[in-house]
A and B are shown apart, each in its own frame.
Chain A
Amino acid sequence: MSVRIQEQDFDVSAEMAAMRAGNPAIGAIASFVGVVRDVNDGDSVSTMTLEHYPGMTEKSIATLIDEAAGRWQVLDALVIHRVGTLKPTDQIVLVMVASAHRGDAFAACEFIMDYLKTQAPFWKKEMTPQGGRWVDARVSDDAAAERWKR
């Protein structure tokens, strides 16, 4: 299980190869990659800058991974989240989960991503033709996380 907050880009293929290497119990790896779009709320976006709370961010994501591992079979999990200034088409976040079977891998991956959006302390500021603006939290993200409650 691993959490990395970094400015530099990541290589999904290399991370996936590293995850399955040496663990023959892994039968499925599900991954999600978030990407910067060039438009948000009707305005064009030229760059997006991500701020985070060092320490708490890593801790909160590690807690989400632990929760996922308590609900599904998780053989390994990796979250990489970039910070700093990114541009459209750049990768922002990677969530990768390994399990014996696809059902657990898909579910745990989606669970971690949904909760990361509403729990992990990151904030986006986007640059539009009207200037810089902080992105507002979305009700749809709260709803996505809410549906995992039991």
Chain B
Amino acid sequence: MITLLYFARLREALGTGREELALPAGVVNLGELRAHLALRGDAWAKEMAAGRNLRAAVNQDIATADTAVRDGDEIAFFPPVTGG
């Protein structure tokens, strides 16, 4: 299983902040996971679309599309940060 976290505007748009998911077959990196989530359609298709400006982290480290994802990982998707 992997843990997926969504924050801020993305959390509101998707209607969830956290889910557990079996790592989908054939998904080995973050870019593929994002494409897989977009297949859910509706808000998922819109928010996870390739053109959307999303950031992500794997196990709490900033990650990119080619970052590997493995069973047991904590993976977060979120908009560009606006703290301070």
The stretch that binds B, out of A14-22, A68-76, A101-109, A132-140, is A132-140
Residues of B within 8 A of A53 (CB): 5, 7, 57, 60, 76, 78
Whether B83 lies near A124 (C-beta < 8 A) is yes
Counting chain B residues whose Cβ lies within 8 A of the other chain, the interface size class is 10 to 19
State the total of A-B contacts with C-beta under 8 angstroms: 71
Query: Which residues in chain A, 113-150, are within 8 Å of chain B measured between CB atoms?
Result: 113, 116-125, 134-138, 141
**Total interface residues in chain A, CB < 8 Å:** 29
Residues of A within 8 A of B5 (CB): 53
Whether A52 lies near B78 (C-beta < 8 A) is no
Measured CB to CB, the nearest residue on chain B to A114 is: B84
Residues of A within 8 A of B81 (CB): 117-123, 137
Instruction: Tell me which of B61, B62, B79, B84 contacts A93 (CB under 8 A).
Output: B84
- Give the complex CA separation of A125 and B23 in angstroms: 32
Instruction: Tell me which of A50, A119, A123 contacts B79 (CB under 8 A).
Output: A123
Whether B57 lies near A121 (C-beta < 8 A) is yes
Whether B84 lies near A51 (C-beta < 8 A) is no
Q: Does A55 contact B (CB under 8 A)?
A: yes
Residue from the set B5, B60, B78, B79 with the largest chain A CB neighbour count within 10 Å? B60
Whether A51 lies near B8 (C-beta < 8 A) is yes
7 closest A-B pairs (Cβ-Cβ)?
A122-B83, A123-B8, A137-B80, A56-B60, A117-B84, A134-B9, A135-B82
The contact sample of 16 A-B pairs, CB cut-off 8 A, is A50-B83, A53-B60, A55-B60, A81-B83, A117-B81, A119-B62, A120-B81, A120-B83, A121-B81, A121-B83, A122-B83, A123-B79, A123-B83, A124-B82, A137-B79, A137-B80
